[in-house]
Structure 1
Amino acid sequence: MSAIVTGAGGDIGRSVVARLRAAGYPVAALDISREALGRIDAEGDTPVYPVVADIRDLMSVKAAIAEAETVIGPATILINNAGGITAPSLRTTSEANWLADIDLNLNGPFRCIHAVMEDFIARGGGTIVNVASVNGLGVFGHPGYSAAKAGLIHLTKFCASELGKYGIRTVALCPGTVRTQAWQERAREKPEILEEALQWYPSRDICGPDDVAAAIEALLDPQLRLMNGAVISFDGGLTAGSDRIASLFTGVQI
């Protein structure tokens, strides 16, 4: 089985590519940035094919996949990982911000699904993992991004309901805070920020890119064939509730 990974040049994307290759999956590594793709380790016995693609352009996605499949073979796995954020609040979100967030984080994954859907059907099935976010489940800032991720979760359910009969299963993974390079840069400017964030996570832990990649790899297990349409929180309990708020409301230290 071969896999397509979008946003492959970012922190999470590189970890996903590395894990899948180590597990024996040939990988098409798609990213808009040629420079970012250059940071992917493409050496090894299992092929990794880095290729520039803009998920805001359907023809770009289709061309990149067609090119990559000449090297990695027919793909039956799609990891919709590419994404990004603009404005942090409603009052700072312009129409341009909103449309950009929706186009990248919701329309982009739709285009990628659209690009592979018929091929997956012809090949007897496949697996789609949409990397959503806790922002799609609750309010944690960045309204455009959050609305797009909520839409991606619903798109996951549409895919599950309509494509399941063709052997295609679709799941959404919703990470919380991830220790990416961007977060590490924020921590250098404000060293206490990650420690403050930890207090809102019941597990008192924040995942790294490889943790997300490990979860994605696990979701590809064929024995999980009935996991279709699932929305999986990968957030240390953030969306489950808050012991801090429970302590405040009950007057008892929990």
Structure 2
Amino acid sequence: MTTASAGRFEGRVALVTGGAHGIGAATVRRLHAEGATVVVADLDVDAAQRAVDALPDGRTGTAASAVACDITDTASVERAVSTTLDRHDRLDVLVGVAGGTGVHPGLLDGMDDTTWAAGVDLNLAGPARCVRAAAPHLPRGGAIVLVGSVNGLQAFGDEDYSAAKAGLVSLAQNLAVRLGGRGVRINVVAPGTVRTRSWDQRTDPDRLASLYPLGRIGEPDDVAAAIAFLASDDAAWITGVTLPVDGGVLAGPVARFESLGGGGER
């Protein structure tokens, strides 16, 4: 695990949606290690509680807690935010991790309207609901970090998911302007292939490692470190940006580079 910068979030409260597994759980651990009081919000509240119980050093209770949250349901999102405020009297950081994609036909291969709408709702409207509910409560110096994808920046398939993740880029740019006068920042991280549960129903993600200039796929802690940076005062003059956390794949997949006659050390 990447070394945390102890104390960057002391006295601050962070709400992490999708915090029970994968990138969300790694982010919970990272923010907690750096001093934040963390509310772990997830559709699976039992898994969220297990994520809380697994935090080191016995820092549970007021230092971390779980709440049920379905980001496709406005009332559920609003309850998660109000519960956070009721428990801790403040909210400083929102991290929107919840989202995902499944195995389904592409847009030109028979994807129906219901599947399209569900993908866009989960991956674009859902994070927007969370921002809408949380942003009015964030103080000056507050931060929002949304988890996008390299799919939103370059063609990698999964059209509904990719279009939604591209929408997060524009959403963050627009809201950075709207929120900037209040001293609230909003940014996006765009991971490449990361070892998470979503790959269990698809394929072995390590087979894609050879595409990455750094020679491996990502781990949840890789993304959590970037999220913590953007949420912290170390990024106090950064807003409206999308930060790829992608092992270099957007710079150029290795196979493509080598097909053009590239070489160099590997």
3-state SS of 2:240 partner: coil
Alignment deviations for residues 213-241 of structure 1 (CA, whole Å, 9 cap, x no partner): 12211222213111111111100111111
3-state SS of 2:126 partner: helix
Letter in 2 for 1:175: P
Q: Which residue of 1 aligns with 2:134?
A: 116
Q: Greater shift after overlay, 239-248 or 149-158? A: 239-248
1:223–1:26 Cα change, 3 Å = same
1:12–1:88 Cα change, 3 Å = farther
Contact kept, 8 Å, 1:200 with 1:242, in 2: the verdict is yes
Alignment deviations for residues 68-119 of structure 1 (CA, whole Å, 9 cap, x no partner): 2222330111101100213252214221111001111000111111001222
Q: Which residue of 1 aligns with 2:123?
A: 105
2:186 pairs, out of 167, 170, 184, with 170
Q: Greater shift after overlay, 37-46 or 90-99? A: 37-46
Q: Greater shift after overlay, 204-213 or 141-150? A: 204-213
Contact kept, 8 Å, 1:27 with 1:49, in 2: the verdict is yes
Work out whether 1:140 is the aligned partner of 2:156: yes
Letter in 2 for 1:97: T
Alignment deviations for residues 176-200 of structure 1 (CA, whole Å, 9 cap, x no partner): 000113435655xxxxx44431111
1:32–1:219 Cα change, 3 Å = same
Q: Which residue of 2 aligns with 1:44?
A: 59
Give 5+ residue unaligned stretches, structure 2: 1-11
Work out whether 1:89 is the aligned partner of 2:106: yes
How much has 1:243 moved relative to structure 2?
3.6
Question: What TM-score, normalized by structure 1, do the two folds share?
Answer: 0.90
Contact kept, 8 Å, 2:52 with 2:66, in 1: the verdict is no
3-state SS of 1:166 partner: coil
Letter in 1 for 2:222: D
CA distance in 1: counterparts of 2:135 and 2:146, whole angstroms: 14
How much has 1:206 moved relative to structure 2?
1.2
Contact kept, 8 Å, 2:17 with 2:96, in 1: the verdict is yes
Q: Which residue of 2 aligns with 1:247?
A: 258
Q: Which residue of 2 aligns with 1:68?
A: 84
CA distance in 2: counterparts of 1:226 and 1:50, whole angstroms: 31
CA distance in 1: counterparts of 2:237 and 2:105, whole angstroms: 37
Give 5+ residue unaligned stretches, structure 1: 188-192
Work out whether 1:25 is the aligned partner of 2:74: no
3-state SS of 2:189 partner: strand
User: What is the percent sequence identity of the aligned residues?
Assistant: 37
Q: Which residue of 2 aligns with 1:190?
A: none
Letter in 1 for 2:19: A
Work out whether 1:231 is the aligned partner of 2:248: no
Contact kept, 8 Å, 1:174 with 1:233, in 2: the verdict is yes
CA distance in 2: counterparts of 1:75 and 1:182, whole angstroms: 29
CA distance in 2: counterparts of 1:176 and 1:69, whole angstroms: 33
CA distance in 2: counterparts of 1:107 and 1:212, whole angstroms: 22
Question: What TM-score, normalized by structure 2, do the two folds share?
Answer: 0.86
Letter in 2 for 1:229: G
2:219 pairs, out of 178, 189, 208, with 208
